[in-house]
Structure 1
Amino acid sequence: MDITIGRVVNFHGIKGEVKIVSASDFTAERFAPGNIVKINNENYEITQYRTHKNFHLVKFEGVTNINEVEHLKGKDVLQDDESVELTLEEGEFHFDEIIGLNVETDDGRTLGKVINIIQTGANDVWVVKGDKEYMIPYIEDIITDIDLENELVTITPMEGLLE
């Protein structure tokens, strides 16, 4: 099954390097040279990968100039979810396991659902949408329980987090 791992947002230079915003975890593994991605129903083999200013810059096999990839701008980058072996440590989750979960406080107040995860470098931030939109940092003191079976995340909000 293909999953969305990013979106082509622009190009870098004129030699066909694409600029991707990630929608996935394990970006270094997913964009590693030799991996295959699908964009606009075409398969591309990654030959080079690097990061630059929060973007993932990728070069594909056989692509030598910008004209060969211009039609990919704005398109989703897909990958077979089993093509890259990813090992999770205890307490780690794939983004697609978290997005869509209900979120409530430890005193039972419903906040909404996780609709996105933003990678900041220091720690991920979960975007929770209900009556309001909340930015919840994924840190142990705040995210106190993740129950995948019951599709529920429990948080202990620090002062000012939900205001």
Structure 2
Amino acid sequence: MEWFNVGTIVNTHGVRGEVRVKSVSDFEEDRFQPGQEVYVEKPETETGYEPLVIKSSRPHKQFILLTFEGFHSIDDVDWMKNAALSVPETALAPLEETEYYFHEIIDADVYTEEGSHLGYVKEILTPGANDVWVVEPAEGRQDILIPYIEEVVQQVDVAEKRITVRVMKGMLPE
């Protein structure tokens, strides 16, 4: 079974079993809702993962604060510090035709409509109205920012990890 990282527990928060999570989830509003199940790595278990049911979730600065059912104190969750939170492939919801999971876009090669290789997607930013794909350039030093909008992203081939874009004025570094 394939597992997907949705966040990292960076520390505990308070004394009542709350943990501070740095999210890398595509859909964190849904992923970290009470009742949802996530898994923490625990090598001594049969699968290597221990299931955790989210009891509460709230934003805090650039983190998400979570509590889990059955974990009531800092002593119960202290061992989770720096642990990755994951979900199995079966927990991934189907997406619309023009929607993609981050893991499908990260490391994809980016080409212009003319066939020039620009580089590969190294990161995805979610600043507001649309995502921005950060491309590590094949040549040059400055990252290329690709807005995920219809006018720019022409084709995404998930199986081939290949993205074709229309270069707009000012998009490429001088």
Q: Shorter-chain TM-score: what band?
A: 0.7 to 0.9
Call closer, same or farther: CA 1:71–1:122 in 2, change over 3 Å.
farther
Aligned residues between the structures:
162
1:62 positional shift? 1.7
| RMSD of Structure 2 on Structure 1 (CA) | 2.1
User: Which of these two proteins has the greater Rg computed from alpha carbons?
Assistant: 2
| Inter-partner Cα distance in structure 2 for 1:73 and 1:64 | 16
1:13/1:138 CA distance change after superposition, 3 Å: farther
Do 2:40 and 2:51's aligned partners in 1 also have CA atoms closer than 8 Å? yes
Amino acid at match of 2:34: P
CA separation in 2, counterparts of 1:8 and 1:147?
32
1:63, distance to aligned residue in structure 2 (A): 1.8
Gaps of 5+ in 1: none
Q: Equivalent residue of 2:5, what SS?
A: strand
TM-score by length of 2: 0.80
Structure 2 CA distance for aligned equivalents of residues 33 and 119 of structure 1: 23
Deviations 1:76-131 (A, max 9, x none): 111112135x2312211111221221101222221111122222233222122233
Determine if the alignment matches structure 1 residue 108 to structure 2 residue 115.
yes
Q: Which residue number in structure 2 is paired with residue 17 of structure 1?
A: 18
Note closer, same or farther for the CA distance 1:140–1:14 as it changes in structure 2 (3 Å cut).
farther
The partner residue of 2:152 within 142, 145, 159 is 142
User: What is the identity percentage for the equivalent residue pairs of Structure 1 and Structure 2?
Assistant: 40
Task: Tell me which of 69, 74, 77 is aligned to 2:82.
Answer: 74
2:134 corresponds to which residue? 127
TM-score, normalised by the number of residues in structure 1: 0.85
